[in-house]
Structure 1
């Protein structure tokens, strides 16, 4: 039976007969045999192969193997005399599955810049750093599902094509047929019968199911037509959005903190080799940083306190600070990195800068909102208690210029058994960034979509 290299290096005893597949990283010849380094993507480390010159295809094929060639190998595991590896595979058969052109293969044995690799999305996951990011991303995804499953949440698949703009920022990609885009179809005869776009959030639909099933979450792609070229923004990204019935802001904040600690602890336990790479080459001290997040309670301040802290700071900011502004990334990072030096939950933002669905506080000026700010990233989680009072919600929707007729279904949730409920959104790519230390968000998603760029 074929084996994966990560399991061979951990569990298989010497003397075991195994078969492995993978891609050649390097080949080094001696007088009577060749050393081959094989990687199958299951882990950072390579498996060392010993290919003896007595193999029938040694001269014709094995000695012509180059970086990138794919091979299937049979052999016997033996204890390795070399440092840094427990076992090596002595080959009894090496079959070449696919050759790689050495003259044109761009990923030679040297370090490549992330900018260079971004131009070849089809090959970059073969590199150590991007392969490690992919494995950590996969484990984080598994951890998210496990976290909610163990707490009795139900996953809801909210629509990718929607007729509601949750954030109301006008940054939706419109969805239409070729005939519609040519202007040959009347609005009432459009494919969906009305204007539709790619979702910016599954929150509103998740609320529908939270008020029927209790606790639910969504985990899917979202899209924003924001013409931003920063290292923090993507046009297509993934969001985790839980919604909880009978849950206020305090309950919401605790769940978000618990979730972050759970998934970060999980990757430290299960992605140790990859995390060492990030700690050594990407962000020195990242393992200690993540342990600090896991072990300490998050700090809590209100938006008003945050503004007071920023106004009192000796540091100069590019964007001016005053009560009523939306905090910028530089403000968020100062608070979490310089002032509190830990993850920070900021609550009770001005109603004027937050969406219509957030619950208005008793002061009438602020809403029961919360953002979690982390060092190196800034905002990683944004959430709120939702407005469950029909009259107040409708009043805010009118003030925001929302077509009430289009959202009658949302208001109905406040007419038929309304309850306090809350939820948050976690940008998955920002979580992967925080966990790996990668500076640019384009490096933590397999196929980044940004203004002017959609490879593969």
Structure 2
């Protein structure tokens, strides 16, 4: 039974001194000279742990209890009672402690009771969930996941599992991982490339790990109207920063018969709903983060909920940045992509709010975004949040076949590879829009942690794919 469940049940019903059973791991142990040990036990269900009092009258006190160290797993049977100590309200006076798992060589245990840096525990991703910080982040990540699904379900969106293995590059940028059966130990030098492909090409063509499920999701949006996917995506970009991963989770939303105004407003509602959901369901975890990560976390998240997002045109953003001379006197021109320092200036300094930037130059955006009447820009938007930068990117999708083919030709895509995608424009085409939300970046924003590698259980980055 979960520790928090015990506390809630017995404190609510005022039924102390009832026999309870808990299972968990030892976080710390303190031994008094009078033959009493104080064990701190946690089970991962919350940030809270509970103190267990073990007296020398226990049958295994001297043979086992005194030998317990951080990380050992136990099942404790005892009586819940009010604590005489100042650090906790409740404690358990044990009548039986069963040791389930010992820690071999406690002096070498990587997750010892002392405080470790995030860089240190990152080397032990299989053990770092045992720390308070990663436990907190994991529970909040779970709550974000639940909130996104609940919000979209409430609005009648259908979940669609889009392919992870794909034959197309959805972004047209070439930053993809190729999937191959090639044995790295085989002697390939004596074979031609065509011979290797013929023998080892499982799918009969080159395939890749998906960078986005959007194109396939559009196929379902053009039949079921409102759909979304939520799963892993992969980008082969050589970006080794605190905000980039090569494997990350993406929420992608598509809706037919809608435009950029409606879909951007919907994405704002989704973000605020998710933050509100975390505030309602993760109060203890947020209090922990307030103490060690971000003293302003509650004010920051509540401000996010109460301030309406700023809507601004890309062209106006360029003028603001020119006027205020951002990025060490480097001149920014219309058509340039925004740098992180410029995004940070807009959200943290100039507007002091979340910003929605609209109508980017088409040269900066993907081929599937709808070209505006000026033929220079596309009906696209990015949502930038303070401290993080871009967290959502979306657009109206190009529903006009001739415009879509022109964009493919402009950037050098082989439109024959997208014949099925063009069919969506041939057979009952409709205006439709959508957006993508990076799950890890949202977790990064909510928690206030500094590095995105702590927002995902097993981070994959340039030069690192352990576990």
Q: What secondary structure does 2:435 align onto?
A: strand
Deviation track 1:279-329 (CA, whole Å, cap 9, x = no partner) reads: 221122122111111112111100001111111115444864110011111
Equivalent residue for 1:400, pick from 411, 419, 422:
411
Query: 1:162 & 1:245 partners in 2: Cα distance?
Result: 23
Which residue pairs with 1:151 in the alignment? 155
Q: What secondary structure does 2:278 align onto?
A: helix
**What displacement does 1:16 show?**
2.8
Q: What secondary structure does 1:452 align onto?
A: coil
Equivalent residue for 1:263, pick from 264, 268, 274:
274
**2:124 is equivalent to residue 120 of structure 1:** yes
Cα 1:84–1:267, aligned 2, differ >3 Å: closer, same or farther? farther
Q: What secondary structure does 1:88 align onto?
A: strand
Matches within 5 A, 1:47-446: 47-100=50-103, 101-178=105-182, 182=188, 183=193, 184-186=195-197, 190-317=201-328, 320-446=331-457
TM-score, length of structure 2 as denominator length? 0.94
8 Å contact from structure 1 (residues 187, 195) kept in 2: no
8 Å contact from structure 2 (residues 182, 200) kept in 1: no
Q: What secondary structure does 1:174 align onto?
A: strand
Cα 1:108–1:398, aligned 2, differ >3 Å: closer, same or farther? same
Deviation track 1:360-411 (CA, whole Å, cap 9, x = no partner) reads: 1111111100000011001010000101111111111111111111101101
**What displacement does 1:92 show?**
1.4
Query: 1:246 & 1:252 partners in 2: Cα distance?
Result: 10
Deviation track 1:196-218 (CA, whole Å, cap 9, x = no partner) reads: 00000000000000011110001
Query: 1:88 & 1:18 partners in 2: Cα distance?
Result: 11
8 Å contact from structure 2 (residues 176, 234) kept in 1: yes
Q: What secondary structure does 1:257 align onto?
A: helix
Query: 1:319 & 1:329 partners in 2: Cα distance?
Result: 14
8 Å contact from structure 2 (residues 327, 341) kept in 1: no
Deviation track 1:321-364 (CA, whole Å, cap 9, x = no partner) reads: 11001111111111011101111100000011111100111111
Q: CA RMSD in A?
A: 1.5
Deviation track 1:223-269 (CA, whole Å, cap 9, x = no partner) reads: 11111211111110000000001110011101110010011011111
8 Å contact from structure 1 (residues 222, 237) kept in 2: yes
**What displacement does 1:278 show?**
1.5
**What displacement does 1:187 show?**
5.3
Query: 2:329 & 2:164 partners in 1: Cα distance?
Result: 36
> Where does structure 2 lack aligned partners over 5 or more consecutive residues?
none
Q: Which runs of 4+ in 1 moved over 6 A?
A: none
Query: 2:69 & 2:295 partners in 1: Cα distance?
Result: 33
**What displacement does 1:157 show?**
0.3
Q: What secondary structure does 1:119 align onto?
A: helix
8 Å contact from structure 1 (residues 49, 89) kept in 2: yes
Q: What secondary structure does 2:462 align onto?
A: coil
8 Å contact from structure 1 (residues 317, 330) kept in 2: no
**2:19 is equivalent to residue 8 of structure 1:** no
